[in-house]
């Protein structure tokens, strides 16, 4: 299976073509991981399919660890908690800024 080329966006910047946002279908990723698990090397997969070794390694780690390619399914509990806490901090900082501005406005009256 070939990556969905309709999704690949190519931008021309200064005469150099740069591929951005290359996306592969989940079934294709699973086939690549199955080939690796079956004995194909990263170098062979890289040469045959033109996929970066680091990308293939990420797919292998995710699929072999949790059975899912979704990053959310592959996060540790600490990482999930950290994301939630960072969102709360941002929210509290915004609320604090609003209260400071309100105090300034009310203090002038």
pLDDT along the chain (109 residues), means of 10: 44 43 87 94 93 93 85 87 97 96 86
Residue 109 has a pLDDT of: 66
Cα distances (Å, whole numbers) of residue 48 to 10, 23, 41, 102, 107 = 22, 17, 11, 62, 69
Question: Which residue ranges make up each domain of the chain?
Answer: 76-109
Residue 21 has a pLDDT of: 61
Residue 70 has a pLDDT of: 81
Phi/psi at 22 (5° precision): -65, 125
Residue 17 has a pLDDT of: 41
Residue 101 has a pLDDT of: 94
Cα distances (Å, whole numbers) of residue 56 to 15, 22, 29, 37 = 29, 13, 8, 12
82 three-state secondary structure = helix
């Amino acid at each position: 299976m070939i990556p969905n080329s309709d999704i690949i966006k190519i931008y021309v910047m200064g005469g150099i073509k740069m591929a951005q946002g290359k996306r592969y279908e989940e079934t294709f990723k699973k086939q690549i991981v199955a080939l690796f698990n079956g004995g194909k090397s990263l170098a062979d997969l890289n040469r045959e399919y033109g996929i970066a070794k680091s990308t293939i390694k990420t797919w292998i780690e995710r699929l072999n660890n949790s059975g899912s390619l979704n990053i959310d399914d592959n996060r540790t509990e600490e990482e999930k908690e950290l994301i939630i806490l960072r969102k709360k901090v941002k929210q509290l900082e915004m609320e604090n800024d609003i209260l400071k501005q309100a105090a300034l406005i009310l203090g002038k009256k």
